[in-house]
Structure 1
Amino acid sequence: MRTQSTGWRSLPPVGPTPAEIKKAEKLELFEAARLCARVMQPTAAARFVLETLCTFYAGRPIEGRMLVWPSNELLCERTGLGERTVRLAARQLITMGILRAKDSPNGKRFAQRNAKGQIVTAYGFDLSPLIERQEEWQQQLTALQEHERENERGFDQITIDRRATLEVLNTLAEWFPRLNIGPLRERYERLAKETPRRSPSRSPEPFLGAWKALRGEAEAQYNTAYGGNECRQKDNNNESLDQSCNKEPSKCEGQPPRASQTTLSDLLKACPDALAYLEPIHNERDLVNEAARHRGGFGVHADAWGEGIAAIGPVLAAGVLLWVVQMQNRPAPGARPIQNPGGYFRSMCRLIKEGRVNFEAEIHKLILRNRRPRE
């Protein structure tokens, strides 16, 4: 590294000046300036002054340099900044190696012309480092963007773990009020306060393990409370749906799904409460259309609806939706109300597809139950 001496002020060390700089278009110069600002992070005033200096470049190198020579007065006029701010901004750009200074003996900025009016030399700011260091800054920007993406993935995982933990804690508090979840709740609140908000300057790495461990402990306590049964919508009356949820996998594997023989008439008799939300149904086309139109109001997402149609067909999927709505409005004796109809619909379609639920039998039970007087 060498030091450029002007005789009137000292400058920081700079790299060797190239013998010749290729001709660069002004657009390329502005792109390099924006890239530089993204990586080097100068102050807002310095970025404004840099972009303003780029506007003065005429596109022709002088003595192998991209020289511009606006006065401080002109820069203040173009930027609207004070002279002291312009001076500090220029000093920062030079110190960071974004610009080079070519100073005249008296410190003024100007160009010298020959007898033909051609510029032979000039004193001012050299914009050449913007082009020279463009590849270096591009590599740094790529590394910076990758780091930011890793941070985003980390913060996303923390958000997932935080929401899952909160959901588990709220569920335990609602269904198992005697269970002591105070320590888990305290750890959750402490972690929520200590975890930083999303920011490029903050790393989520120190908190990823803590949130993962907390979520694991909360889910373990949840599974223990439910006796290891992953089916939250568990009936307590030993009906076939409950039996199918708890059926041993060895008894269900390899069995093809049984085609449902449920008729439209049986479905309408079994689900009178669900039909109250729909227009009159005269055929299977009406059934599918009404189910598709109202499934959002029943809490069934489009993804779950599409999965159900792909698994068991549109007619049977529509029938399952009516069955879920009926069960939600009139739960089985001793059963908990359905809290998540969308998830229940999705699970029911999967069970029917796997042959683990006899939907025809479920409809027949609803018909028999509807004949009994309501309690």
Structure 2
Amino acid sequence: MESGSVTTPFGRRPMTFGMLASQAAARKIEPGRSIDKWKLYRALCEARPLLGITDRALSILNALLSFYPKGELSEDNGLVVFPSNTQLSLRAHGMAEQTIRRHLAALIEAGLLIRKDSPNGKRYARKEQGGEIREAFGFSLAPLLARADEIERLAAEVTAERLQLQRLKERLTLCRRDIAKLVEMAVEEGASGDWSGVHLHFRGIVERLPRSPSFEKIAAALDELELLREEITNQLEMQVKAPNQSGNAQHSERHIQNSNPHYTTELEPGFETKQGTTAEDQSEGRAEPTARIATHEGKGRPVPAASSASVAGGGLRSFPLGLVLQACPEITAYGPQGSVDTWRDLMTAAVVVRSMLGVSPSAYEQACDVMGPENTATVIACVLERAGHINSAGGYLRDLTRRAERGEFAIGPMLMALVRTNSPIRGKTG
């Protein structure tokens, strides 16, 4: 189009700010700029969702580009095409004229075309004596050349998003296959576990996905399925390892695997006993927590309770229930009947909080094996108090479990810090 000119539409069609902006942008084309028209058209097809145009409108644009005589769009070759609606219909596979007009208006509104109407609204060109076009009236393709970089960028974004969605769907398919085959194997091999419940949970996640899910819904479902797959894998691996563990001739006791996290201890765990004392010597009302019983190989006599407790609790010191509740009052709401009166109530509440915080059963069970059930429930209560400062409760619990195995973790400092935090006189000090 002519530099510095502004064209208004013919007849009753109004002038809009969008048209004015498109014409202003078209006048800023760099001198000598050119681009392959079909390469640009392919980029337009890719960027179509972000440009807000339909595939039928792109068919009309394709027909208009076919009337451009050169292979590259350039101001030197002119940027106005002037076919009649009849010619457009033929190259648009017989599209009706009313439909052509509607899609032309959509292309103009999207800022991809500019009308350059003649005084009488007809499309034609005036030529010089040598046959060169001096002035043409029709549709200017200048916006395509002016927005070429933007169109290619939008096309690259759509392509990248499509590839990302494709990879996400592939991961979802693989995860679904893994879960289905693992559950099938567990049922056929008779592995212990609520596999019917796991399968129902799996089907519930899958069936929530719509026929054409968005990227966000696929990502959310994939996160749930990957967590479920991890829990299934951990549970099955623990059952695979359990039969393979055997007694060591250099040790006097065997390791007995117990996968039940629900312990029956009701009394508060006692403090560490003094050297030389036994469980019978302790005062009434304070008893050792129930522990796994280990026997000497070939002898059949039980290991003393203090030794058993140190195996089950990883050598961690236990604290009175009253102190735990003073440091962690929030756990009380999750106990039976909304209260915690015994250690059994605390462990029941810890199982509920464990699920709420997203801690996997395998992580909780491993913590019980290393630290003992009462200490694990105490740690869960502490984690609940500091839930707003912990990104992954499951990962945090696994880290504490590993530190407890190495003898690098103690519950006392954690409890004392929470006692000071929740103290009613804390705000008056300082």
TM-score norm. by structure 2 comes to 0.48
Q: What's the CA shift for 1:125?
A: 0.7
> What are the residue-to-residue correspondences of 1:147-158 with 2, within 5 Å?
147-158=161-172
Q: State the one-letter code of the partner of 2:9.
A: T
The 3 A distance-change label for structure 1 pair 190 and 116 is: same
The 5 Å alignment of 1:151-300 reads: 151-176=165-190, 179-196=193-210, 204-228=218-242
AA partner of residue 203 (structure 2): E
Contact 2:9 2:115 in 1 (8 A): no
Letter in 2 for 1:77: L
The Cα RMSD (Å) is: 3.1
- Comparing 130-139 with 207-216, greater Cα deviation is found at 130-139
Which secondary structure state, in structure 1, belongs to the residue aligned with residue 69 of structure 2?
A: coil
Structure 2 matches for 1:339-354, cutoff 5 A?
A: none
In structure 2, the CA distance between the partners of 1:61 and 1:209, relative to structure 1 (3 Å rule), is closer
Query: How far, CA to CA, are the matches of 2:162 and 2:69 in structure 1?
Result: 37
Of 5, 18, 21, which residue of structure 1 is paired with 2:8?
5
Q: Is the 8 A contact 2:32 2:75 kept in 1?
A: no
Aligned residues of 2:10 and 2:117 also touching (Cα < 8 A): no
Tell me how far apart the structure 2 counterparts of residues 131 and 113 of structure 1 sit (CA, whole Å).
Answer: 24
1:138 aligns with 2:152: yes
Contact 1:36 1:130 in 2 (8 A): no
Distance 1:193 1:200, change over 3 A: closer
Match of 1:52 among 49, 63, 66: 63
What percent identity do the matched residue pairs reach? 23
Q: Determine the structure 2 residue equivalent to 1:331.
A: none
The Cα of 1:24 is off from its aligned counterpart by 4.2
SS in 2 for 1:58: coil
Secondary structure, counterpart of 1:122 in structure 2: strand
Partner of 1:301: none
Structure 1, unaligned stretches of length 5 or more?
A: 235-375
Equivalent residue, structure 1, for 2:299: none
Deviation (angstroms), 1:146: 2.0
Aligned in 2, Cα 1:63/1:179: closer, same or farther, shift over 3 Å?
closer
Q: Contact conserved, 1:151 with 1:203, CA < 8 A, in 2?
A: no
Aligned to 1:18: 27
Q: Indicate how the Cα distance of structure 1 residues 101 and 64 shifts in structure 2: closer, same or farther if over 3 A, else same.
A: farther
Structure 2, unaligned runs of 5 or more: 246-430
Deviation for aligned residue 1:223: 2.3
Q: Which residue of structure 2 aligns with residue 69 of structure 1?
A: 82
Query: 2:46–2:159: 8 Å Cα contact kept in structure 1?
Result: no
Distance 2:27 2:77 in 1: 7
SS in 2 for 1:98: coil
1:32 aligns to 2:40 (yes or no): yes
Deviation at 1:3, TM superposition (A): 8.1
The aligned runs of 1:84-163 (5 Å cut-off) are: 84-163=98-177
Counterpart of 1:337 in structure 2 is: none
1:285 equivalent in structure 2:
none
Code of the aligned partner of 1:105:
P
Query: Residue 226 of structure 1: SS of its match in structure 2?
Result: helix
Distance 2:122 2:148 in 1: 29
Residue identity matched to 2:175: D
1:234-274 deviations in whole A, cap 9, x for unaligned? 9xxxxxxxxxxxxxxxxxxxxxxxxxxxxxxxxxxxxxxxx
- In the TM superposition, residue 188 of structure 1 has moved relative to its aligned partner by 0.8
Higher relative contact order (CA 8 A, sep 6+): 1
Which amino acid in the other structure matches residue 186 of structure 2?
Answer: L
CA distance in 1, matches of 2:126, 2:168: 57
Contact kept, 8 Å, 1:33 with 1:130, in 2: the verdict is: no
Q: Does the aligned pair in 2 maintain the 1:49–1:90 contact within 8 Å?
A: yes
The Cα offsets for residues 216-239 of structure 1, whole Å up to 9 and x where unpaired, read as 12222222333446x8xx9xxxxx
> For the residues of structure 1 that align with 2:91 and 2:160, how far apart are their CA atoms?
36
CA spacing shift, 1:24–1:61, aligned 2, 3 Å: closer
Counterpart code for 1:76: S
